[in-house]
Structure 1
């Protein structure tokens, strides 16, 4: 059953994309726009900064 037929017959339960996701494909999950990628990789960026700071502190000792 195609997507349009599923919507017409009421068998489709997925929510349509809203906001920026409806307009730009890059803003969807795992998207490539800078804003979304920055939000997604924030935890890793914090870890890298902490590791760099530990190296700097180690070199000072």
Structure 2
């Protein structure tokens, strides 16, 4: 299998950034059809909101 293998699940991922602007993690979700751009955008938007909420909970060291 290679990353281009159509049998592998496709993922959408967004970074989780802490209060200092450091990327500390990523949130990802599997999408069935990457050609459905509206669905991919919706998934990315949901992940982005969750990532921003998670980033706000991280301390400012």
- What is the TM-score when the length of structure 1 is the normalising length? 0.34
Higher relative contact order structure (alpha carbons within 8 Å, sequence separation ≥ 6): 2
- What is the TM-score when the length of structure 2 is the normalising length? 0.34
Q: Which structure features the higher share of helix residues?
A: 1
